[in-house]
Structure 1
Amino acid sequence: MVAVSADQTPPENPSGIDAADTHDDGPPPRWRLLGPGLVVAATGIGAGDLVATLVAGSKFGYALLWAVIAGVVIKIFLVEGAGRWSLATGHSIFEGWRRLGRWTSIYFGPYIMIWGFVYGATAMSASALPIYTVFPQIPFIVYAIFSGLVGAALVWIGKYHAIEKLVAVFVGLMFLTVVGSAAFAAPNVLDAVKGLVPLIPEGGVINTLSIAGGVGGTITLAAYGYWLKEKGWYQPKWMRVMRIDNTVAYIISGVFVISMLIIGAELLYSANIAIESGDEGLVELSGVLADRYGGFVGNLFLLGFWAASFSSVLGVWNGVSIMFADFWGRVRKKDEDHPDRRSGGKYYKFYVLWLTFPPMLLLLIGKPVSIIIAYGVLGSFFMPFLAITLLLLLNGRHMPEKWRNGWLLNVILGVIAALFLVLGINELIGAFSPG
């Protein structure tokens, strides 16, 4: 078993009980390479992220490899900030936002409701597509609805440790299939090394910014602090463990994204093959893999496609539901440790239902343009919202001085905030542009 020691190594635990669950005040126990970082990274890497990187590889080859690596680093800093706030203060990220003023709630409330309504349909569709591709005898909508119902059932009681183990299985499937497909594509090492030079190809500014800033999750990054608490990592003594957990998890997610870039560069860019920009692009890619390496490889990739999509269902149905429970419990003036503001509470279950059943209407009637526009606008400005509020929180008076940002971290978060503002403005312009 791979393990690292925390700041101190405790005596042996013959009972076998995870010391993370005992909530004692002693040193953190030995830590296994499986934690909330893996959940947040797996949740963030969905079908849309795989397609975005695949399209970048098909258009520019390895030229944006450096941007993929930059994106991994960006997410490490953002998630570390969310985790550091939670461990150092003992408060959730939403409690931190409330300390910045009521404007954060005015933004977050509508955002989480609209986002959940549209994302529910998107996630169910993405999970259904690879299954429907292999077994088209049953209508697509049946697979989509079934995916949502299964996801809701698996997270209903909110047992984090069970969800963590399920996500680990899906990460294993993704590693086998996505990284395996990249190995079949036989990456050109020399071209890949050239792609480490930070240059923006002609016509690739937006692609570059999107790859660097947009791959790897949005609202689920802020859920990291909640998963830390569910795991039992709840005090500053877990800071070093949290940082290792987060870094290792995003390195793993970076391997997935780089693998998709390799596949796009070797199979599509070199053969001048264009694919769809939506989830259908992954289905098309499975066909390309099947034509070149056989049906088994094509179907194996579809399995990875499904694992990436359904792990996002589990992560969002659990993590964002906890965030909603915390938000609504605060609105109802309940104490921060009240069960209704935790996983498995009534507000949590309400949002699980909200993610599952209302979005089925969108599956039946299609996605209304006005909702899509609202979702795109709000969604594009969540990441700058997260980056800017973290910059304020991690330097504010509520943060213990020991754990505040230094000047270098402030510069990095400032650059990240500016990057996401540019992406958000571009998304805003695109949402309201004709055609």
Structure 2
Amino acid sequence: MRNPFKNIGPGALIAAAFIGPGTVTVCTLAGVQFGYGLLWAMILSIIATVILQETAARIGLVSGKGLSQVLREQLPDGILRKLILGLVLAAIVVGNAAYEGGNISGGVLGLQALGNDGIIHLKSFQLNGYSLLIGAVAFVLLYIGNYKVLEKVFLVLVILMSLSFVITAILTGPDLFDLLNNAFIPGVPEGSLLMIIALVGTTVVPYNLFLHASLVNQKWKDKRELPAARKDTIIAVVLGGIVSMCIIIAAAAINGSSVDGAAGLALSLEPLYGEAARYCIGLGLFAAGITSAITAPLAGAYVAQGCLNLDGNQQSKPFRATWMLILFTGVLLATFGIKPIAIIQFAQIANGILLPVIAGILIWLANRTNLLGEHKNSTLKNAISLVILIITCILGGKVILTVIGSL
């Protein structure tokens, strides 16, 4: 009771990881285009995320290993294992390097919404000083390589992000009856199907499953602490989902506008609700960007370590080399405004394939007695997990078809 934050675990990092600039943008567009109409889809996303993240955390804590390492050991030796590990490496490591520029750019947009644009002019070209600042902060925190430090920093950033978006939603004076009605009674407004898929897809993130399974062992060392890990997961993911819903609620205040992202939301809300709205959105977007800019390289390093069977901890040279490569790639892309379209499209296809594959493998692993013993899935958990697997297959297929259609 004297220290209410003592039992907070990696859930804070996971919540911060899935509320990145992409999530903020998708939730903003959902609110602007459909008002409160898709709040139920976010609740569906929260349920799916809780189930998958709890499974990953349980596997990590009981086995004492990261998810990619468990995959290496549990999958039969042969072409299937090589294909799955190769897919994981491509989707997480290469994908996170491609997306890292977007994470950092999201944080930059948040800072720019507060005032100065952060542009540095050097003779014939210009670069973004904010992206260098965010990259430097991420580098220092990752280089320290101390889980407890990361936990405390992320707790502060998650609180900042949560307060920012919750206050913004309150400022808009939402209709509570209409809000609750749309949150618990599903409806599919005309033209909203793709947005529903996007809301689920931006919340159920493959790399978070690998990150959670690895980080849970940094906090807890004994399978008897599974209840604490489960509670941490549920609370963090639900609170993260509430933050995402607050973004939708805030954006619904300008329903029908031509706003195309969070930065535009900040500018649109200012004339209606004063400077407080712009500052809240700006701080929230900054926190979302910088947390994702840290968790993406961290997840990539854990995945590479497990897939390639590399020894060492967070201070080891291979681990640091991996996250440095991902982070530096992101800083370079964000600083000079480069958009590696081909790599991003490849990463989207790889993630589209990976999500249902990993969801299926998680269900398989969660039922293996030799791995989890008495902590394997119950019949109810299997039933819910199978429904989620079907949803991830639909999500993955839609992502792949959308990317192929844009080529």
Q: Which moved more, 1:160-169 or 1:106-115?
A: 106-115
Match of 2:192 among 197, 200, 204: 204
The residue that corresponds to 2:150 in the other structure is 163
Determine whether 1:53 maps to 2:41.
no
Measured in 2, the distance between the counterparts of 1:208 and 1:172 equals: 27
Contact preservation (8 Å) 1:152, 1:356: yes
Letter in 2 for 1:383: L
The residue that corresponds to 1:410 in the other structure is 382
Contact preservation (8 Å) 2:89, 2:303: no
Measured in 2, the distance between the counterparts of 1:390 and 1:416 equals: 11
Match of 2:358 among 386, 390, 395: 386
Letter in 2 for 1:202: E
| Structure 2 unaligned blocks of 5 or more | 76-80, 121-126
Match of 1:108 among 57, 64, 88: 88
Partner SS state of residue 136, structure 1 = coil
What displacement does 1:89 show? 2.4
Match of 1:253 among 204, 226, 240: 240
Contact preservation (8 Å) 1:268, 1:274: no
Q: Bigger relative contact order, structure 1 or 2, given CA contacts below 8 A and separation 6+?
A: 2
The residue that corresponds to 1:283 in the other structure is 263
Contact preservation (8 Å) 1:178, 1:304: yes
Determine whether 1:273 maps to 2:257.
yes
Structure 1 residues 157 and 326: CA distance shift in structure 2, 3 A = farther
Contact preservation (8 Å) 2:93, 2:301: no
Deviation per CA, 1:89-119: give whole Å up to 9, x if none.
2232112212223332121222233113212
What displacement does 1:303 show? 0.9
Contact preservation (8 Å) 1:45, 1:216: no
The residue that corresponds to 1:353 in the other structure is 324
Determine whether 1:95 maps to 2:82.
no
Contact preservation (8 Å) 1:174, 1:304: yes
Measured in 1, the distance between the counterparts of 2:2 and 2:174 equals: 29
Superposition pairs of residues 21-100 of structure 1, within 5 angstroms? 32-98=6-72, 99-100=74-75
What displacement does 1:145 show? 2.7
Greater share of residues in helix:
2
The residue that corresponds to 2:117 in the other structure is 136
What displacement does 1:124 show? 1.7
Partner SS state of residue 243, structure 1 = helix
Structure 1 residues 427 and 44: CA distance shift in structure 2, 3 A = same
Match of 1:220 among 208, 211, 233: 208
State, as a whole percentage, how many aligned pairs show the same letter.
24
Structure 1 residues 147 and 216: CA distance shift in structure 2, 3 A = farther
Match of 2:277 among 291, 297, 302: 297
Letter in 1 for 2:130: Y
Measured in 2, the distance between the counterparts of 1:238 and 1:71 equals: 26
Letter in 2 for 1:229: N
Letter in 1 for 2:189: P
User: Number of residues paired by the alignment?
Assistant: 392
Structure 1 residues 48 and 382: CA distance shift in structure 2, 3 A = same
Contact preservation (8 Å) 2:65, 2:214: no
Deviation per CA, 1:346-380: give whole Å up to 9, x if none.
11110121112234443437223321210111122
Partner SS state of residue 156, structure 1 = helix
What displacement does 1:285 show? 0.7
What displacement does 1:137 show? 5.2
Contact preservation (8 Å) 1:58, 1:264: yes
Deviation per CA, 1:120-173: give whole Å up to 9, x if none.
212221121222342125245222133122201211131010011000111111
Measured in 1, the distance between the counterparts of 2:234 and 2:3 equals: 15
Contact preservation (8 Å) 1:41, 1:216: no
The residue that corresponds to 2:293 in the other structure is 313
What displacement does 1:43 show? 1.5
Deviation per CA, 1:281-316: give whole Å up to 9, x if none.
111111112111222331232011101111112222
Partner SS state of residue 199, structure 1 = coil
Letter in 1 for 2:176: V
